[in-house]
Amino acid sequence: MFKGRTKAQFPTWAKRTENGTGLALVATLMVTHAAGGVCPLLTDSTPELRIAWIGCASLVLALYVTSMAALFVSRPSPDTPGFRAAMLYFTLQTFGTAAATMYLPLYLAALAMHYVEYHVLMIPRIAKQELDSTSRIDRGYGWLRARPVCFLLVVLGLSAVVTAGMGSMDFEPSGAPWAVLLTAFDALVAIHYFLEMQIWKFSDPHFRKSLAGVYFAKRA
């Protein structure tokens, strides 16, 4: 999205290196998890885990530098709007996740940053997008959108339930209801990821048209 605002032409391989950076970070996180949640270079881990971590981390660094280089060389001029935001956003995402590769609980910090950015990105889409008055779903959503306090209370209430469940989950028979709830929550997260993969496709004519004026200035 930030790159789209620059109206610059980027190399076709730039998107692959950006996606590759994320995949390499996931692989590094998995190695850290296998090492007990701490970077294997800082513990008495096996040589195999140390070599795997170094390899994955080196790949992350190489792909990150390549992605930043693609952004830098593609800008028409140093003052082109949007480039600083794009480079800063990608940097924060990368290093926020990289922190968790050193100590896995730091993933919560990266998750908090994700929640903040997600709200910043979604507020225009939620509050500004035009609704279809002939659609029952849009009318219902319009009612909810006009009452943001109710919406926030529902979200906070559900969050409190899930948080309480995670704190008491012990996989004993008494914890079975919470296990079912958390399994359903995981399924919801998976659906969320799938939907997000679809609704942010600016290459799709429908979403490009519906989001014009929300994130991008309409053409004169």
**pLDDT for 41-97, tens place per residue?**
999 989 999 999 999 999 999 999 999 988 887 776 667 677 777 788 888 889 888
Rounded to whole angstroms, the Cα distance separating 141 from 126 reads 9
Rg of the chain, C-alpha, whole Å: 21
Residue 52 included in any domain: yes
- Which DSSP symbol is given to 80? -
φ, ψ for residue 168 (rounded to 5)? Answer: -110, 0
Structure tokens at 17: 């290196």
Residue 58 included in any domain: yes
Q: Which has more pLDDT, 8 or 166? A: 8
Rounded to whole angstroms, the Cα distance separating 51 from 59 reads 12
Contacts of 115 (CB under 8 A, 6+ apart): none
103 forms beta bridges with 38
pLDDT band of 183, cuts 50, 70, 90:
low
Residue 51 included in any domain: yes
Q: Which has more pLDDT, 186 or 65? A: 65
Structure tokens at 162: 């899930």
For the entire predicted model, the pTM comes to: 0.65
pLDDT at 138 over 70: yes
Q: How many domains is the chain partitioned into structurally?
A: 1
pLDDT band of 130, cuts 50, 70, 90:
confident
Residue 174 included in any domain: no
By three-state DSSP, how is residue 40 classified? helix
pLDDT at 172 over 60: no
Average pLDDT over residues 31-39: 92
**Average pLDDT in the chain:** 78
Rounded to whole angstroms, the Cα distance separating 41 from 156 reads 39
Rounded to whole angstroms, the Cα distance separating 53 from 32 reads 7
Average pLDDT over residues 204-212: 67
Q: Is the C-alpha dihedral spanning 116, 122, 128, 131 positive or negative? A: negative
Residue 64 included in any domain: yes
Rounded to whole angstroms, the Cα distance separating 96 from 119 reads 17
Torsion of CA 100, 101, 103, 104, to 10 degrees: 60
Rounded to whole angstroms, the Cα distance separating 179 from 166 reads 9
Question: What's the pLDDT at 58?
Answer: 97
Using left for φ > 0, alpha for ψ between -120 and 50, and beta otherwise, residue 132 falls in beta
Residue 208 included in any domain: no
Residue 33 included in any domain: yes
The residue range of the domain holding 69 is 1-128
Question: What's the pLDDT at 171?
Answer: 46
Q: How many CA within 13 A on the CB side of residue 66?
A: 17
Residue 165 included in any domain: no
Contacts of 129 (CB under 8 A, 6+ apart): 210, 211, 214
